[in-house]
Amino acid sequence: MNHRTPRDPVHRRGASAGSVLRAVLEHGPVPRSTIARLTGLSPASVSGHTAELAEQSFIREMSETTRAKAVGRPHVPVDLDLSGYVVASVHIAVPHTTIALLDLRGRVLVRHQEPHLQPEPLAVVSRASEILARLLAEHAAGRTPLGLGVATGGWIDREAGVLVEHPLLGWQDVALRDQFAERTGLLAEADGHSRALLLAERLFGSARGRSSVMHLFIGNVVDAAFAAGESVHYGPRSQAGAIAHLPLAGNTEPCFCGRTGCLQAAVSEQSLARRAFAEGIITEPEFPLLLETARYGDPSALRLFTERARHIGRATAMLTDVFGPELVVIVEPGVMFLPGTLSALHEEMRAHAWSPPPDVTRAVVPTGFEPDSILAIAGGAVILDALYRDPLRLLAEHERAYSASQRCIHI
Ligand SMILES: [Zn+2]
């Protein structure tokens, strides 16, 4: 699905409908006259798009005196209609899968975390699909599931919908998109989780309206993503953003790739938990336990998170020298929960970037998303981004997927 390079008139029309829908998301309730100013589209064109979007239950007119969903007068505000649709989300992490439903504002309606008893791809996909069916039956409240977004770490080829490689899960060439589409009957899309969260930050988070943004995801897997203007960079086979093996000076941690000093080996949750366990800071080599210990103020645990933040700061310095993003958003529990570690990261940025941003504390920030919701948002954002680029096209693809699945069921 190539929704990033609209060329023909139908795609241009869809892209304009997308910019109208994004204006409603960002500014709603908003009158159509303002949408015309915000998008640069003509009033007639905005009027046409809002009528079509209302017809499809994406937006509604905010007037009690007007018939529901009738959209006509230019000064009556319109807003998102949250009663028509939900999007489904699956995020596959190393120890567990998160399955969730989101509304069109990217808010998590319900979330379930399922540990990996059998981390084989088929078992994980089947179990997640079963749980998703239950969540839809119990929590969608009559709303139509518009599609399923799947996010995970490692290398995901977005166009092919294939997880090319996830060394920590030991997965290779898994057709995630098609396997989920087949099991759920939903339109499905898959993307890497750093890129998925970058999409989410641009739609619902702190990157909204920024001209360029870089996203760093530091978990067990370490990934980056970059966007400039409207364009999110994918590269051939969506390979961009693989920073796991970026060499870091002064780091001697051995990496599974055979070298030493790779970023991921230094900062992954597994490495940190292993080191903390070996040093007797925690009684089990479990990352959540280490984070809890640091949050209680244990100085040794805090020291490990500060070292981690310094490694991330040095990597961020290199990456910002290359890309010069206006904003860097980081998902990493240390900088999200332990304020001292964020200062260490900023200090390292200032010391190592050739041309650091004038105010590092505003240019490099932790995500503003609720920590418990981040993984659910990552999956959902894969579909929500497609929706806000071209809602009518997504709806048409959803209807095709849905009718195909109904045919399969009745045969
Ligand atoms: Zn390596």
Q: What is the pLDDT of residue 75?
A: 80
**What would the mean pLDDT of 361-368 be, rounded to a whole number?**
96
- Distance between CA atoms of residues 114 and 191, nearest Å: 20
More confident position, 11 or 297: 297
Say how many Å lie between the CA of residue 271 and the centre of ligand 1: 13
With a CB cutoff of 8 Å and minimum separation 6, the contacts of 320 are 214, 328, 349, 353, 356, 357, 363, 364
**What would the mean pLDDT of 249-266 be, rounded to a whole number?**
88
User: What is the helix (H) or strand (E) element at residue 138, kind and residue range?
Assistant: helix 121-139
Q: At 320, is the pLDDT very low, low, confident or very high (cuts 50, 70, 90)? A: very high
* Topology (CATH) of 209-368: Nucleotidyltransferase; domain 5 (3.30.420)
Q: At 73, is the pLDDT very low, low, confident or very high (cuts 50, 70, 90)? A: low
Give the model confidence (pLDDT) of 378-393 as tens digits. Answer: 999 999 999 999 999 9
Give the model confidence (pLDDT) of 347-357 as tens digits. Answer: 999 999 998 89
Q: Which of 378, 410, 387 is CA-nearest to residue 150? A: 378
Say how many Å lie between the CA of residue 11 and the centre of ligand 1: 41
Q: What is the pLDDT of residue 74?
A: 65
Question: Does pLDDT of 95 surpass 70?
Answer: yes
Say how many Å lie between the CA of residue 255 and the centre of ligand 1: 5
Q: Where in the chain is the domain with CATH 1.10.10.10?
A: 9-80
Of the listed ranges 93-97, 107-111, 246-250, 335-339, the one predicted with least confidence:
246-250
- Distance between CA atoms of residues 83 and 185, nearest Å: 21
**What would the mean pLDDT of 198-226 be, rounded to a whole number?**
94
Q: Where in the chain is the domain with CATH 3.30.420.40?
A: 85-198+381-410, 209-368
Q: Does domain 9-80 correspond to CATH entry 1.10.10.10?
A: yes
Question: Does pLDDT of 288 surpass 90?
Answer: yes
Say how many Å lie between the CA of residue 286 and the centre of ligand 1: 22
Mean per-residue pLDDT over the chain, rounded: 91
Say how many Å lie between the CA of residue 278 and the centre of ligand 1: 22
- Distance between CA atoms of residues 319 and 356, nearest Å: 11
The structure tokens listed for 53 are: 């979007």
Question: Does pLDDT of 257 surpass 70?
Answer: yes
* Topology (CATH) of 85-198+381-410: Nucleotidyltransferase; domain 5 (3.30.420)
Q: At 281, is the pLDDT very low, low, confident or very high (cuts 50, 70, 90)? A: very high
Number of C-beta neighbours around residue 31 at 10 A = 18
Q: 372: which DSSP letter?
A: G
Question: Does pLDDT of 159 surpass 90?
Answer: yes
Q: What is the pLDDT of residue 130?
A: 97
Residue corresponding to tokens 């204006």? 23
Say how many Å lie between the CA of residue 317 and the centre of ligand 1: 19
Say how many Å lie between the CA of residue 246 and the centre of ligand 1: 7
User: What is the helix (H) or strand (E) element at residue 245, kind and residue range?
Assistant: none
Say how many Å lie between the CA of residue 256 and the centre of ligand 1: 6
Say how many Å lie between the CA of residue 263 and the centre of ligand 1: 7
- Distance between CA atoms of residues 64 and 378, nearest Å: 35
Cβ-contact 281, 293 below 8 angstroms: yes
**What would the mean pLDDT of 71-83 be, rounded to a whole number?**
82
Q: Output the 3-class SS for 208-240.
A: CCCCEEEEEEECCCEEEEEEECCEECCCHHHCC
Say how many Å lie between the CA of residue 248 and the centre of ligand 1: 10
The angle formed by the CA atoms of residues 267, 271 and 276, to the nearest 5 degrees, is 110
